Amino acid sequence: MIETLYWTDEGVVMVDQRLLPTEELYPVFTTYLEVADAIREMVVRGAPAIGVAAAMGVALGFRDAKSDTEAGLDAKFEEICSTLAGTRPTAVNLFWAIDRMKRLYQRLRKDGVASASIREKLIAEARSMHTEDIEINRSMGRFGAELIPDGATVLTHCNAGALATAGYGTALGVIRAAIESGKSVAVFADETRPFLQGARLTAWELHKDNIPVTLITDNMAGHFMKAGKITCVIVGADRIAANGDVANKIGTYSVAVLAKENGIPFYVAAPISTIDLETKDGDGIPIEERPSLEVTHVKGNAIAPEGVTIANPAFDVTPNRYVAAIITERGLARPPFSESLRKLVNGAAESA
């Protein structure tokens, strides 16, 4: 099993995803500031994984927070939460996880629970978010597997696998579940410029699990769709607006348009915590702009002229009209998404 991140008494251990696949290192991050840097610098990435990392960062920060007064500790707790919330703007799971830790903290404070016990309970909460995330992915996998025919070839973009979550994966979890149910499934993985999550991470984890994977560069997807080689597309999401517009890794929108043009279903697999009913549509989703170095350099080597103007939006928004279904741990949402997503978030699962 791939261990993306886990809690230890020394701190949060995370596989350094910047180094994969050539080096597999598991450094320990011993302060909340180190965890915040790890999220910002993409040691850990993928919406559910950064949510769990942030929750662990909150628990770690508060465990080591020092103040003589309760008010001082409250202020420290707020500072920890806002530092972690300031790391990456698009994936709503980050804010969802920090809010969950905040709600627990406030409830315990209100109940007069001693600070030593609050420290323990925050650690327990972060650890249970880790366990829950894997269970959620397995449940998502069971619903999503129904959509994949035996013998299918699934195209995916970026990495929505074990490495993007506490384990098993969202989009790749659906593929794993279909294979576990006895179906034969192969994957086409887009390399996903500029950070190469497809080439470095998706290809690595599928290859490690002996799941047949063909790695292609991003500009090859349309060619293979037109040639009839792709049965369906499954991607993850960083934030899904109330109307079903989906923010995901840059390039996802182009894949969705190509899929529609070629009559190929485009599915999104994401936990309920990725659905943001407060954001009406995709226009309200903040898109992270990342350093230009990610575009101008590959593994430290320049591939562009020095001084050239660079744009590097890390995500794009796929309008809901391109999405055939959203796969969650509570079931599938189908268009019209404003209705089906609201029902799912409020607890009523629809059938496949």
Region from 44-52, 210-218, 295-303, 324-332 binding ligand MRU, contact rule CB under 6 A: 44-52
Q: Looking at beta carbons, which residue is closest to ligand MRU?
A: 236
- Residue 17's contacts (CB-CB under 8 Å, 6 or more residues apart) are 42, 43, 44, 45, 163, 200, 201
Is residue 337 a contact partner of residue 243, using CB atoms and an 8 Å limit?
A: yes
Q: Which of 133, 190, 238, 245 is catalytic?
A: 238
Region from 45-53, 179-187, 258-266, 343-351 binding ligand MRU, contact rule CB under 6 A: 45-53
Q: Is the peptide bond before 313 cis (omega within 30 degrees of 0)?
A: no
**Ranges within 306-335 binding ligand MRU (CB under 6 A):** 314
Cβ-based nearer residue to ligand MRU, 108 or 310: 310
Is residue 159 a contact partner of residue 202, using CB atoms and an 8 Å limit?
A: yes
Side-chain-side CA neighbours of residue 70 (13 Å) = 11
Q: Can you give the C-alpha Rg of the chain in angstroms?
A: 20
Residues in contact with ligand MRU, counted by CB under 6 A, come to a total of 17
Strand partners, 216: 190
Residue 87 binds ligand MRU, judged by CB under 6 A: no
Is residue 159 a contact partner of residue 198, using CB atoms and an 8 Å limit?
A: yes
Side-chain-side CA neighbours of residue 63 (13 Å) = 22
Choose which of 160, 185, 187, 206 interacts with ligand MRU (CB under 6 A): 160
Side-chain-side CA neighbours of residue 226 (13 Å) = 7
Q: How far is the CB of 174 from ligand MRU (least distance, A)?
A: 11
Q: How far is the CB of 129 from ligand MRU (least distance, A)?
A: 15
The helix, strand and coil proportions of the chain, stated in percent and rounded to the nearest 5, come to 45, 15, 40
Choose which of 87, 170, 202, 296 interacts with ligand MRU (CB under 6 A): 170
Residue 154 binds ligand MRU, judged by CB under 6 A: no
Q: Which amino acid is at 77?
A: F
**Ranges within 210-269 binding ligand MRU (CB under 6 A):** 236-238, 248-249
Residue 47 binds ligand MRU, judged by CB under 6 A: yes
Residue 45 binds ligand MRU, judged by CB under 6 A: yes
Choose which of 87, 139, 153, 165 interacts with ligand MRU (CB under 6 A): 165
**Ranges within 190-219 binding ligand MRU (CB under 6 A):** 197
Is residue 37 a contact partner of residue 49, using CB atoms and an 8 Å limit?
A: no
Where does 147-259 show beta strands of DSSP type E? 152-156, 185-190, 213-216, 232-235, 239-241, 246-249
Cβ-based nearer residue to ligand MRU, 100 or 249: 249
Q: How far is the CB of 28 from ligand MRU (least distance, A)?
A: 21
Q: How far is the CB of 249 from ligand MRU (least distance, A)?
A: 3
Q: How far is the CB of 40 from ligand MRU (least distance, A)?
A: 11
Residue 46 binds ligand MRU, judged by CB under 6 A: yes
Q: Which of 27, 118, 129 is nearest to 80 (CA)?
A: 118
Among this protein's residues, is 281 annotated catalytic? Answer: no
Cβ-based nearer residue to ligand MRU, 118 or 324: 324
Cβ-based nearer residue to ligand MRU, 57 or 236: 236
Residue 142 binds ligand MRU, judged by CB under 6 A: no
> Could you tell me the sign of the dihedral formed by the alpha carbons of 130, 135, 138, 139, in that order?
negative
Helix axes 171-180, 115-145, angle to 10 degrees: 60
Residues that bind ligand MRU (CB under 6 A): 45-48, 91, 158, 160, 164-165, 170, 197, 236-238, 248-249, 314
Catalytic residues, which ones? 238
